[in-house]
Every structure is written in structure tokens, then in C-alpha cells.
């Protein structure tokens, strides 16, 4: 279950990003996760709940934009949305094929509450 290590890394990055002592709670973490990463949404949410317990990120919602797997063939110039990883172009079978998205795992931003917010 690599979701546990991903959740632990997300927590480290989120807590490391909160430098202002006035920030009392992380409410939302916005993520971009590519389909090729193999991350299971429910497993990630479960792992997040476990690792964030007792921190200012406890209860924070993970808002995930799932990035489709896409590729581009430099031979036939096709831009394709894919269901699986390809080494060769699925249209013309050229090896001049490049995966262009679907491998991302990034934290875009955090939403937080400060001491003076209700």
C-alpha cells in the first residue's frame, strides 16, 4: 500500500509549508494525481486520516484532480487519451511516442484557518 507513504509525504510537505504560527488548522489540500501513479483514492483517504491524526492537518479534506493518461506521437502527430501506458504509438506503432501526462503527484495549494478566524 504505497498510499501510506504518499500520505506521510503529503503531511510532511503540508506541515513544512505552514510557517506562520497564526495558522491553526489546515482545512483543504489540493492535489493533482496522474492516473498512471496507481494511487487508489479510498486507500489514500484512509491513510491520510491515519497519518494526520493529532496534527493541525487532522480532518483536512484532500481535493484531488485526477490527471488523465495522455500521450503524443511525434510521427503521426496524434494526441491521445490512453487507458494504459504505451511505449509505441497505439495508432501508427511508431516508437516516437511520448507519454505527456498521467504521472503527476503534486500538491497545488493548502487552505488554512488562522487564529483570528471562526
> DSSP alpha helices (H): ranges in the chain?
2-17, 41-52
- Rounded CA separation 82/80 (Å): 6
Say if residue 86 carries a ligand binding annotation: no
Q: How far apart are CA 55 and CA 26, in angstroms?
A: 9
End-to-end CA distance of the chain: 37
Is 76 marked as a binding-site residue? yes
74 a known binding residue?
Answer: no
89 assigned binding-site residue: yes
- Binding site listing for Ni(2+): 2
- Binding site listing for Zn(2+): 73, 76, 89, 92
- Binding site listing: 2, 73, 76, 89, 92
Amino acid at each position: 500500500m504505497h498510499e501510506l507513504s504518499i500520505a506521510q509525504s503529503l503531511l510532511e510537505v503540508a506541515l513544512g509549508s505552514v510557517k506562520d504560527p497564526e495558522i491553526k488548522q489546515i482545512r483543504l489540500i489540493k492535489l493533482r494525481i496522474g492516473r498512471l501513479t496507481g494511487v487508489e483514492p479510498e486507500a489514500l483517504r484512509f491513510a491520510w486520516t491515519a497519518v494526520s491524526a493529532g496534527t493541525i492537518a487532522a480532518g483536512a479534506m484532500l481535493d484531488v484532480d485526477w490527471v488523465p493518461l495522455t500521450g503524443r506521437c511525434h510521427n503521426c502527430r496524434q494526441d491521445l487519451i490512453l487507458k494504459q501506458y504505451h511505449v509505441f504509438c497505439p495508432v501508427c506503432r511508431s516508437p516516437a511516442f511520448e507519454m505527456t501526462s498521467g504521472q503527476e503527484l503534486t500538491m497545488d495549494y493548502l487552505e488554512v484557518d488562522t487564529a483570528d478566524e471562526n
